[in-house]
Every structure is written in C-alpha cells, then in structure tokens.
Amino acid sequence: MTIADPRQFAMMPDTARIKLRLFENKLSETLEFGTLGNVKTTADISNGAFSAPTCQLRVVATDAQHKGLLLGSTDTWNLKAGGDDEGSKASESILLFLPQDISPRTWKLDVREDDYPVVYIDKKIPDPRTWARNDPVFVSCVLPAIIREVFDDLLLANTPPVQAWAKDWLLWADTLMPGKAPPWNDGRPQKQAWLADLVDSFCQRHGMLDLLVGMLEQEAAA
C-alpha cells in the first residue's frame, strides 16, 4: 500500500498506530501495520474465510491521554480474491462473482452496505466464476433475479442512494431505460412496476429467452 500524500500525516505523532480493518458479512479482522514512525509493510490475515473484504485504513492514537482516539481514516475499498485490489481492470464490475463454501446452496447474493454486491458460487462447482458468467441457465434464469433483488433492496429507501456502488448501478440501469429514473417517492406498486420494466429491458437487450431456448433445443437434439 502506498500513501499518496504523506503530508496528511504530518500533524500526527510518530507513535500513532496504523491499522487496516477488514470486514465482510459478519466477519471482521484488524491488521496491525506498526506506527507512523516505524511502518510495517506486511501483515498476515488470520481468517481464511474472507473472499472480497471491504477495507479501511485507520490511524489511532496510543498516548495515555488520547489512547484509542481515531486520528484519521481513508475511504473504504474492496480487496478482491487473489490479491488484486479494485484498481485492477480485470476485476472491474458492478457485480462480483466469488467462490465460497455455501453448501447446500449453489449461489448466494450479498448486497453489501458499502461496496459492490457479491454473488457467491459454491466452490465445489468447477471454475465457478466462469460458470456463473457463461452458463446459459444461470445467466438467463438467475442473473435477472439477482438484478431484481439488488434494485429491490435499493428501492427500500425513498431517496437516491449516496454509496458509490449504488450510483454505478443506477447509471447502468439508465443505459437500459434512458431517462426513466426509479420512482423513489412512489409506493411499492410503482416501484415493482419499474423493477419489472428494468428486468424486461435487461432480458430483451441480451436475448435471455433465446439463449435458454437455444441451449435446450441443442440438448434435445443431441
């Protein structure tokens, strides 16, 4: 990790401790990176269950008078499986697919508060991320339901979201239905109608029915 502007720490004591907080679902862990005067460059994660934890760097006072006081913190970011952070072009997406032990389910959606939604695919499935992105049954039957569930969660609020990931989802929805914003102030029937239009637009844009029928016809002819 590189601190882009060390001047932000100029007024903080060298004894202040650097901590990196990881959290995902109900899991959390804090890693210690020494002090501002003696920075550690590495730290081991003890919990191997993390798949794509949300991270936040914090600087905490250690002197007796202010011990534990938060002196500064960064915005949160997402750490992807395999060690790539969200700056990696290969992992840029508004929806993450990650393998995890979720038996007896095959997939599970996690709509997180501060980061992009994650679809966990059970790790017993061979090459689970590729399967989720390319299998005609999953793509045509499950993906529309995932999209609906994410937006159903967003529409529980009566105002547009402030989270960066949610704004990206709304921009994506606008590419499917230009100029048709979610009915934030309307009742549930209007919101459900908007959701139905969004899912229909998505399925029509990507030919979901034809994709599934084509696969079923191939299997029947085999």
Q: At CB < 8 A and 24+ separation, what contacts does 74-77 make? A: 76/114, 76/115
% of the chain residues with pLDDT over 90:
46
The closest alpha carbon to 24, from 1, 47, 44, belongs to 47
Is the bond into 104 cis (omega within 30 degrees of 0)?
A: yes
Q: Extract the tokens encoding 29.
A: 């862990």
DSSP labels for 47-101? -TT-SS-EEEEEEE--STTTTT-EEEEPPPEEBPTTS-BTT-GGG--SSEEEEE-
From CA 99, how far away is CA 107, in angstroms rounded?
9
Model pLDDT, residue 51: 62
The closest alpha carbon to 174, from 185, 188, 160, 156, belongs to 160
Supply the Cα-derived Rg of the chain in whole angstroms: 22
Model pLDDT, residue 52: 66
- The residues with which 28 forms a beta bridge, in sequence order, are 23
51 touches 23 (CB < 8 A)? no
Enumerate the domain spans of the chain. 6-78, 93-221
The predicted-structure confidence for 156-185, as pLDDT tens digits, reads as follows: 988 999 998 999 999 999 999 999 999 999
Query: How far from chain centre, in Å, is Cα 79?
Result: 10
From CA 107, how far away is CA 101, in angstroms rounded?
10
pLDDT confidence tier of residue 207, bands split at 50, 70 and 90: very high
Quickly count: other Cβ atoms within 10 Å of residue 87's Cβ.
9
Strands 54-60 vs 77-78: parallel, antiparallel or unpaired:
antiparallel
From CA 167, how far away is CA 173, in angstroms rounded?
10
pLDDT confidence tier of residue 26, bands split at 50, 70 and 90: low
